[in-house]
A and B are shown apart, each in its own frame.
Chain A
Amino acid sequence: MIRICALPAAVAVAVLAWASPAFAQADMDGTWQPRYHEDQPERIPGPELKDYLGLPINDAARQFADSWDPGRIALPEEQCRVHVSPYIYRGPTNLRIWEEKHPKTQDVVALKHYHSTYEQTRTIYMDGRPHPGPNAAHTWMGFSTGRWDGDMLIIETTHLKQGWVRRNGVPMSDRAHMTEYWVRNGDLLTQIVMLFDPVYLTEPLVKSTEFVRSPRELPAQTWLWVCDPVVEIATRAEGAVPNYLPGEHPFEEEFDRRHGIPHVATNGGAATMYPEFQDVVKQAPKPAPLPPPSRGATRVTGPGQQQQQGK
Chain B
Amino acid sequence: MPIRLQSRAVRGVLVAAAVVTGAGLAVAGRAVAQQQNFDNVQIDTVKVRDNVYMLVGAGGNTTVFTGDEGIMVVDTQFAPLSTKILNAIRAISQGPIRYVVSTHMHGDHIGGNEALSKAGRTRAGGNVVGDLGAGATGQAAIIAHENVLTRLSAPPAAGQQAVPFALWPTETFFGKKREFLFNGEAVQIIHEPKAHTDGDSVVFFRKSDVIATGDLFTTVMYPFIDVANGGSITGEIDALNAILDITVASNVNEGGTMVIPGHGRLSDEQDVIEYRDMATIVRDRIKEYAKRGMTLDQVKAKKPTLDFDPRYGTDTGFWTTSMFIETVYKEMVALNPPAAPAPARGRGRTQNQKGSGE
Contacts and interface: CB of A to CB of B under 8 A. Distances in A.
Q: Which 6 interchain pairs have the tightest Cβ spacing? A: A237-B355, A304-B347, A64-B307, A63-B307, A239-B356, A137-B266
25 contacts: A60-B309, A67-B307, A72-B277, A80-B252, A82-B253, A82-B254, A135-B44, A140-B254, A162-B271, A162-B274, A236-B355, A237-B354, A239-B241, A239-B280, A241-B276, A241-B280, A241-B352, A243-B285, A243-B352, A245-B348, A246-B303, A249-B347, A250-B348, A303-B347, A307-B347
Interface string B250-272: 01111100100000111111110
Nearest to A173: B311
A60 B285 contact: no
A245 B285 contact: yes
B253 A78 contact: yes
A239 B303 CA distance: 23
A150 interface: no
Given A60-B307, A246-B302, A80 B249 contact: yes
Q: Which of A63, A72, A226 has the most CB of B within 10 A?
A: A63
Q: Which of A77, A80, A119 has the most CB of B within 10 A?
A: A77
A118 interface: yes
Given A137-B267, A161-B271, A243-B349, A199 B254 contact: no
Nearest to A139: B254
Interface string A233-253: 000111111111110111010
A39 interface: no
Interface in A254-310: 303-304, 307-308
B311 A199 contact: yes
B310 A200 contact: yes
A116 to B, nearest CB: 12
Given A239-B241, A239-B276, A252-B347, 19 more contacts: A64-B308, A77-B244, A80-B253, A82-B254, A134-B3, A135-B265, A137-B268, A138-B271, A140-B252, A174-B219, A174-B271, A200-B310, A227-B252, A236-B355, A237-B355, A245-B348, A246-B306, A248-B347, A250-B347
Interface of B: 1-3, 44, 46, 54, 56, 219, 237-238, 241, 244, 249, 251-255, 258, 264-271, 273-274, 276-277, 280-281, 284-285, 288, 302-304, 306-311, 346-350, 352-357
Contact of B269 (A77, A175, A242): A77
A226 B250 CA distance: 11
A79 to B, nearest CB: 8
A198 interface: yes
A217 interface: no
A157 interface: no
A242 B353 contact: yes
Given A60-B310, A241-B284, A307-B346, A134 B252 contact: no
A171 B46 CA distance: 28
Contacts of B273: 77-78
Given A60-B306, A63-B307, A135-B265, A308 B251 contact: no
Nearest to B6: A135
A185 interface: no
Contacts of A240: 280, 352-356
B265 A137 contact: yes
B357 to A, nearest CB: 6
A242 B267 CA distance: 23
B270 A81 contact: yes
A104 B314 CA distance: 52
Interface string A160-173: 01100000000101
Contacts of B270: 81, 161-162
